[in-house]
Chain A
């Protein structure tokens, strides 16, 4: 095999840090290493930088005040803080927590945990595109409901949820509305005030900032319980000495993302639609997962009948293309993705799904390369498969 190029189409799994972000972080690793809680110079430099980062993140989501942004260790912590922090604070008002069937595990598992501690959980169904059923939601949200948490856009299938409509239903019963915007923030505009969001999770790495940093927006006046108790940082909601360099990087990433969102969105949408068209056209029994138009600009999730995801992933990897699979065989649990199953796919259909996620570095050349590779990969695996109808293998 010749020295081949590497085409990363797995940006959702991890993104490189933007060089401008890296540059902004460096002084806070050595020069201003002090503790932001200290009153002397090197600590105070950090404090000022953290507050500037807070402003940048607040501006990205049009938060009403900079102080509504709490920095955390990432989206998993933000989701845990939002869900458990609300449940613990408002357990005397009700015990019901509602979510959708297409959530990330860092939402699913805190809710499952709470359901062992006396809370009731309800996972609302979605349609074949992964869009939450608003009628079912309206029936389920009641006086006992303290929290509704829904993903802004699912990371596996890209479908964007009707957040404003959901907010209206949730607030009609005075419940609290948390949105996990990990995959969406930075890709599509989010205005927490206009949409009516009480709590919002965002992650730094998803916008080309460093890993290990995230934020939770907590609407002005809303009170929740902390997960971590200690020195009282982040208004007592997230104790622990701040990760100054990480937070500064996150702030810079949020600033760049806001400035360049439209350009990136247009570019990725064009590449996305070309990839979808180029993958669906040449091969029969090939389908798009998720919503055809109302989806994240970076997400292409495709399902091929009669073949299994991991063998596609390995075949692409042999050609230098990096992707993720919706199959059990590439995961730790041996269960296919719960998100794909929630959209009504059978197990064997979910097994045959692969996910391409584009990034800022993606080019037309990358997309054409993958489009060119796929028919041979699929035909080879289909020839080997006992499930393939005879007429396909001629």
Chain B
């Protein structure tokens, strides 16, 4: 049912865990639906210097989380915001159609983490003023 690339990322997921002093954190999904993930990013000079995830979900949910972190690491925030769900699925050599919308949430979690970073920066700037 899954591509070898998906299975590889499920067996040996990259960048799992938390970043305690993350600059941005994004959570999407809901345990009720069976998929939930949290992304943590560390930003330096407008680039994603470090990224980690925690995911509750099926094989596809874990594999897409792992793939998204690998794709985002080292990219500028603007570049990372352009990573779409479709890009993640392509990079994994495809996902079963039924998994495309329910488990392919990792790009959304990444975007949420970046938005959280922007929000925190804004607050920081306001405090400085």
Contact = CB atoms under 8 A, between A and B. Distances in A.
A261 interface: no
B34 A351 contact: yes
Contacts of A306: 56
Contact of B32 (A346, A384, A386): A346
A311 B10 contact: yes
B58 A386 contact: no
Interface string A281-313: 000000000000000000000000011111100
B58 A329 contact: yes
Given A327-B34, A387-B36, A307 B102 contact: no
A386 B7 CA distance: 21
A386 B60 CA distance: 16
A328 B29 CA distance: 15
Interface of A: 306-311, 314, 318, 327-330, 332, 334, 336, 346-348, 351, 383-387
Interface in B43-66: 54-62
B34 A386 contact: no
Contacts of A383: 16
A321 to B, nearest CB: 15
Given A314-B10, A347-B31, A386 B102 contact: no
Most buried by A among B37, B58, B102: B58
B1 to A, nearest CB: 9
Contact of B59 (A310, A332, A334, A346): A310
A308 B54 contact: no
Given A385-B54, A386-B55, A387-B36, A308 B16 contact: no
Contacts of A348: 31-32, 34
- Chain A interface secondary structure, helix, strand, loop or mixed? helix
Contacts of B13: 384
Interface string B1-12: 010000100110
Nearest to B53: A384
B116 to A, nearest CB: 15
Interface residues of B, number: 28
B58 A384 contact: no
Contact of A334 (B2, B16, B38, B98): B98
Contacts of A332: 98
A307 B36 CA distance: 10
A351 B59 contact: no
Given A310-B58, A386-B36, 19 more contacts: A307-B56, A308-B58, A308-B61, A309-B58, A310-B59, A311-B10, A311-B59, A314-B10, A314-B58, A329-B60, A332-B98, A334-B98, A334-B102, A346-B32, A348-B32, A351-B34, A384-B13, A384-B54, A386-B54
Contacts of B103: 329
A160 to B, nearest CB: 29
A311 B57 contact: yes
Contact of A347 (B11, B16, B33, B60): B33
A351 B57 CA distance: 9
Most buried by B among A309, A310, A384, A385: A384
Contacts of A334: 98, 102
Contact of B56 (A330, A336, A387): A387
Most buried by B among A306, A332, A386: A386
A308 B34 contact: yes
A385 B33 contact: no
